[in-house]
């Protein structure tokens, strides 16, 4: 698999022509299974095939059960300079309900050690968990802040079909997700992190100045990216592509020097809809000038007309010709965005 990842980077080196690499991201699966030699090989391959900024953000995703003290020290000796750790909750009952492999003490020990070796750490927290009270949710946030964390990504619990959680809810063994409580906990999160000098720069992301995720910010601002490995997605501004999900099929194709990839050319409407979706999720909003210049009068007229009711309801606001959600509208941004989509050209 590692040699095939190297080979794919080499085969696809021309896909990001004239693009300077700003971030490298080791995402899930479980990239923490990589050893130092493998991590260095993959990073060196990126440098050999691309121009990279002087100090790129290099992130590795991991769960607390993957991050022993030995592993953290090992990672600190590689070029990786940012960890994204899937804590989710510091309460045992929440972790069991979500079928997480780690426990509460492992989560705390992991952060205690990681913060000694990395100053750029993001943690994931989940809100809206059945039976997680608002006071417990405040404790979760405060516990994370107590470790000096500079970035938090937080998402509402969603129940995926055909999962153990969905089955337990269907049997009535645990409560279903309460959307009203999830919304309450979202606003508790916003209030506490704002007070702690975090910037709520994207719907699910909060960071102190200088600690925004450069990788994720690139997605929201429509920058090009190259995804390497099974299931990985790529985007170059006009075309989206994705690799086959199956590991064996991926390896077989790469060994045969072919790309196991599907591609899709985005229409003007696709590009507009994506810009609305990503823009409204962020503090940078949607530029009315950009919509007018890049998409034309049909699109700007549609956007201005469809957004009127949300402006009246104080869910959207226009400032300096930028359309943004208000604090009241932030939690509803995805739903609002879908109403602003252009359904046909």
CB 254 within 8 A of CB 270: no
Q: Which of 241, 210, 249 is nearest to 224 (CA)?
A: 241
Instruction: Measure the CA dihedral 59/61/64/65, to 10°.
Output: -130
Q: Which pairing describes strands 199-202 and 205-207: parallel, antiparallel, or unpaired? A: antiparallel
- At 234, list the tokens: 């790529």
Per-residue pLDDT of the chain (345 residues; tens, 9 = 90+): 999 999 999 999 999 878 899 999 999 778 999 999 999 999 999 999 999 999 999 999 999 999 999 999 999 999 999 999 999 999 999 998 888 899 999 999 999 999 999 999 999 999 999 889 999 999 999 999 999 999 999 999 887 777 766 676 777 767 777 888 999 999 999 999 999 999 999 999 999 999 999 999 999 999 999 999 999 999 998 899 999 999 999 999 999 999 999 999 999 999 999 999 999 999 999 999 999 999 999 999 999 999 999 999 999 999 999 999 999 999 999 999 999 999 865
**Burial degree of 207 (CB within 10 A; 0-12, 13-18, 19+):** buried
- Distance in angstroms (rounded) separating the CA atoms of residues 176 and 265: 39
Residue count of the chain: 345
In this predicted structure, what is the pLDDT of residue 166? 66
**Alpha helix (H) ranges present in the chain?**
2-11, 36-49, 69-76, 92-97, 104-117, 134-146, 164-170, 179-195, 214-220, 247-255, 268-281, 288-295, 297-312, 327-330, 333-340
pLDDT score for 158: 80
Q: Give the model's pLDDT for residue 164.
A: 66
Burial of 8 (0-12, 13-18, 19+ CB in 10 A): buried
Residues with Cβ within 8 Å of residue 301, at least 6 apart in sequence: none
Backbone phi, psi, residue 96, to 5°:
-65, -45
pLDDT on residue 1: 96
Task: Tell me the domains of the chain and their CATH numbers.
Answer: 20-220 (3.30.750.200), 269-340 (1.10.10.920)
Q: What is the pTM of this model?
A: 0.93
């Amino acid at each position: 698999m590692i040699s095939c990842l190297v080979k794919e980077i080499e085969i696809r080196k021309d896909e990001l022509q004239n693009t300077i690499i700003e971030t490298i991201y080791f995402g899930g699966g479980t990239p923490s299974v990589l050893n130092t030699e493998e991590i260095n090989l993959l990073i060196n391959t990126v440098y050999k095939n691309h121009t990279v900024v002087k100090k790129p953000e290099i992130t590795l995703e991991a769960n607390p059960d993957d991050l022993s003290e030995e592993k953290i020290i090992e990672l600190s000796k590689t070029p990786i300079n940012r960890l994204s750790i899937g804590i989710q909750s510091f309460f045992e009952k929440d972790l069991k309900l979500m079928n997480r492999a780690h426990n509460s003490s492992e989560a705390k020990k992991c952060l205690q050690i990681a913060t000694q070796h990395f100053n750029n750490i993001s943690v994931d927290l989940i809100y809206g968990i059945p039976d997680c009270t608002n006071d417990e949710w405040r404790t979760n946030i405060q516990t994370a802040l107590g470790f000096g964390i500079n970035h938090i990504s937080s998402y509402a619990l969603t129940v995926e079909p055909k999962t153990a959680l969905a089955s337990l809810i269907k049997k009535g063994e645990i409560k279903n997700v309460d959307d009203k409580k999830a919304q309450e906990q979202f606003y508790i999160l916003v209030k506490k992190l704002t007070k702690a000098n975090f910037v709520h720069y994207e719907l699910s992301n909060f960071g102190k100045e200088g600690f925004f995720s450069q990788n994720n910010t690139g997605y929201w601002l429509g920058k090009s990216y190259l995804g390497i490995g099974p299931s990985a997605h790529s985007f170059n501004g006009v075309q989206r592509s994705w690799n086959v999900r199956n590991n064996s099929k991926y390896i077989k194709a790469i060994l045969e020097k072919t790309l196991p990839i599907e591609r899709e050319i985005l229409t003007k409407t696709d590009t507009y809809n994506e810009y609305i979706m990503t823009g409204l999720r962020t503090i940078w909003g949607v530029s009315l000038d950009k919509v007018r210049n890049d998409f034309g009068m049909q699109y700007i007229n549609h956007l201005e007309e469809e957004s009127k009711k949300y402006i009246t309801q104080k869910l959207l606001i226009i400032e300096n010709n930028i359309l943004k959600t208000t604090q009241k509208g932030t939690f509803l941004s995805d739903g609002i965005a879908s109403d602003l989509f252009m359904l046909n050209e």
